[in-house]
Amino acid sequence: MIGPFKHPPFETFRISPIGVATRKYSAKKHLITDLSSPHKSETPSINSLIPAKDFSMQYVTIDHAISLICLAGRGAWLAKADIVNASPKIFDSLFEGLCWILVNNFKLPYVLHLLGDFLVVTPSSPPHYEVQNLGSALGVPSDAGPTVFGRFPVDSDLAHLASAAQLAILDGFAPRTLSAYLAGWTRFQSFLQTFHLPLTAADISTICSFISYNRTTKRVRTTSILTHLTSINFFYKLATGFPHPARGHANVTTLLKGLRKSEPHPPPKRQPLTTDLLLRCALVLRSGCIAPAFDLSLECMFLLAFFGFLRCSEFAPSSSAFDPTFHPTLSDVVRHSEDLFVFTLRRSKTDQIGASFPIYLFRLNSPLSPNDPRTKYLAARYASNASFSDPLFLTETGQMATRFWFSAHFRNVLRLSGAPGRFSIHSFRNGAATSAARAGIPDRVIQVLGRWASISYRNYIRHNIEDFR
């Protein structure tokens, strides 16, 4: 900027008023040039002299952003970037080119921009990549680049092998587990930033303050706080190779015990769906609930979940994107004999490497025998030209049956059956363990049937007064 001038520097020139505005959140001063001045005058403004055909702009709307988020699906990541001092049109054309480069060269799936503000939408990525890239925030040095792992003493020639080893270590954890650890770690980092503490602070005093903050300020239950502490311990072990000192520390355990005493009583545990309640649900479906084909499909799902001691994710995945190499298909159910079907469980919470596990479904002398409904269901599916690689269970629209879909129909069937109590889709697994224990099946057999790797199966067995007669 030059001037001021005692005399006009040009014979013909135009002056636009300028002003200063303060940004709402950053308090930063922003220069405003009013190119639409003079207003309501016979003298044209700068803006009125600009050809509308060549220089008009169309801004993206919130609807554009929402549509891209829907395309990316649940778990999508959003990132915002702001290029300062961006001017209209000329820079808008530059940013359009930048968007093209981001989409075509860097393979970012969805990018929007509003002048100098960019919104990047990406589908959910495997959590281990997010964990791997937390190193810069942790301040942990590594020869293989930013990582949550401690220093790998390797030269540059072996850096790529060290990075591959770190990813393989993270692959040893289930994606859901890593996501939970990330959520807990993010909450801890937010706490540190709130109180202006270094991101590497993790001493006993800080951990105790973090626990108190979550309970007294955020009203988080101690069960959730324990999950957050597990997350901190997880990242600490990755960075140092040793458990966090707070694990088992007397101050921490006593603090949690005291906070637990002050909490309101938790809601009653979800009840097991035992054989009597399962029969009531089956009778509702057999009498007609949705349509004959889908009533039969739901009955098969109920019986498979119960007699297979299945977790919901093992037969009704959370994702709606079907992958025949990962999700249950018709080929996973094979008739072994007149009295036996075998369902191959490809992978589970305790089988992350995909070794698979056979689930045996025997014919029973009972109205809950899983064989007859299974025979009818498979015959109907193959009669409709289904292939072996099609999803094992379908919705009314022909899509793979998901956890959300199954949960909604399960609640509806429970309501129609009049079953009292508090149930969830995990009640099948609880009910199978409880029914097996009441039938006198040994504990070691129940543990094998439910594929429990520890004695945690005991928590799934519910007792009533009749068990103590």
Residue 145: the pLDDT is 41
Q: Which domains does the chain have, with CATH numbers?
A: 18-49 (no CATH), 62-122 (no CATH), 129-262 (1.10.150.130), 275-468 (1.10.443.10)
Could you give phi then psi for residue 146, rounded to 5 degrees?
Answer: -60, 125
pLDDT at 90: 62
Q: Sign of torsion, CA 445 351 335 297? A: positive
What pLDDT, on a 0 to 100 scale, did the predictor assign at position 89? 59
Note whether 118 and 82 are within 8 A (CB): yes
Separation CA 196–CA 186 (nearest Å)? 15
Give the chain's length: 469
> Does the model's pTM come out above 0.75?
no
Confidence at residue 215, expressed as pLDDT on a 0 to 100 scale: 92
Which tokens in the block code for residue 457? 């199966």
From CA 229, how far away is CA 209, in angstroms rounded?
A: 12
Whole-number Å distance between alpha carbons of 36 and 27: 25
Structure-token pair, residue 15: 């002056």
401-443 pLDDT, tens digit each: 999 999 999 999 999 999 888 899 899 999 999 999 999 999 9
**pLDDT of amino acid 156:** 63
Q: How many other CB atoms are found less than 10 A from the CB of residue 468? A: 6
The pLDDT assigned to 305 comes to 95
- All residue ranges of the chain with pLDDT < 50 are 135-147, 151-152, 468
Got the DSSP string for 350-384? TBTT---EEEEEE--SSTT-SHHHHHHHHHHHHHT
**Which amino acid, 269?**
K
**Residues in contact with 299: Cβ distance below 8 Å, sequence separation at least 6, in sequence order:** 282, 285, 286, 373
Task: Name the residue with tokens 């600009």.
Answer: 50
